[in-house]
Each structure stands twice: as C-alpha cells, then as structure tokens.
Amino acid sequence: MNEQAIRELVAWMKIILLTALIILVFRQFLFEPVSVHGRSMMPTFEEDDKVLLVKISPIENFDLIVFKAPEGKNFIKRVIGIPGDRLKMEEDQLYLNGRKMEEPYLKENREWAKEQGYPQLTTEFGEFTVPTGYYFVLGDNRLNSVDSRTIGFIQRDAVLGEVKYRISPLRHFGRVE
C-alpha cells in the first residue's frame, strides 16, 4: 500500500470513529428512541409507536415521560403532579393545587367509558402532596393503566426522559403535545 492510500484510510477511520462517538454521546446524554408497549396511553400512543425522548428537558405538569418502573420495565405515562403539588380526584375531575384542571387528552376515553357504562374514568383519591424528588403519573387510558395509583410515586432518578416527538408510524410523525 502506498503512503497516500494509508493516509486516506486513516482519515476515513477518524471520521467514522468521530461519528460513532457523537452518536453515542447524543444517545447517552441527549436523545433516545423508545418503543411504546401496552395500551395504557391509548389513544395518545398505540402499541409499537416509536417516540424520541429528550433527556435534558425539565419535567413539568402534563409532560409525557418514560421511566424505569419498579419491576424494571420502561413505562410511558403523563406527569400529573410534580414535587410540592397538591392533587385530588373528585367525581372524575382533577384538582391541581386547588384548581380544577381540564384534561382534553381524556376526551375519547371518557366517551368510551360512558358508552360502556362506567360511571367515571378515574377512581377518586383524596388530596395529597407530591413529595420532593418524586412525580405522580397517570396513563391516559385510566381504566387500563398501571400508574402511580398502583405503583406509587415515581422517583426523579427513574425518569429516562420526556417524550417530545413521535417518529413512527409516519402518519403520526411529529411533535407530541
């Protein structure tokens, strides 16, 4: 091999290594693709939807997050309460810090529940405060969701990231609200 070919090979190896390093850093610290499994977030997300997590986003009320559940699985849920929030569910109405909250993402599930004869979508719970370092999460499909009502508060350290974009299926590609 001549000297020119070796230099060119080394240059290509550097580019490939740098590209791999950049991808690794982005995936480890900034973004991560995740598949949705289960029906607890329907109709917001369906089985096998692919989403992109942002790992550096501050978590706020009603954000969609993926976290490591107690049994080691990744769950996707909606953050209802952040540290210090007072929450209460009364007559299928969410109260956050004493204010009645609208939950437009539940419209389809409420209609379905009513058609099926369920008196309410979300079981009532008395007022409580979300402790420091924890979140209270619920699935959008409240009649079929393992969430904070069953597994308790979610530790901040268990959160893998906030769901910002749906990347598959293509007909639903884009920013998630």
Q: Partners of 75 in the beta sheet?
A: 67
- Which residues form the catalytic set? 40, 77
The pLDDT score that the predictor gives to residue 73 is 84
Residues 109 and 10: their CA atoms lie apart, in Å, by 58
The pTM of this model reads: 0.82
Tell me which of 146 and 23 has the higher pLDDT. 146
Phi-psi region of 152 (alpha: psi -120 to 50; beta: other; left: phi over 0): left
Q: What are the tens digits of pLDDT across the range 62-107?
A: 999 999 988 878 899 999 999 999 999 999 999 999 999 999 999 9
- The structure tokens 């559940």 sit at 69
125 CB contacts (<8 Å, ≥6 apart)?
87, 88, 89, 149
Q: Look up residue 166 and give its two tokens.
A: 């749906």
Specify whether the CB–CB gap between 74 and 67 falls below 8 A: yes
Q: What are the tens digits of pLDDT across the range 8-53?
A: 888 888 888 877 776 666 666 566 777 888 889 999 888 888 988 9
Residues 135 and 72: their CA atoms lie apart, in Å, by 17
The pLDDT score that the predictor gives to residue 70 is 80
Domains of the chain: 31-169 (2.10.109.10)
The pLDDT score that the predictor gives to residue 64 is 95
Q: Partners of 161 in the beta sheet?
A: 66
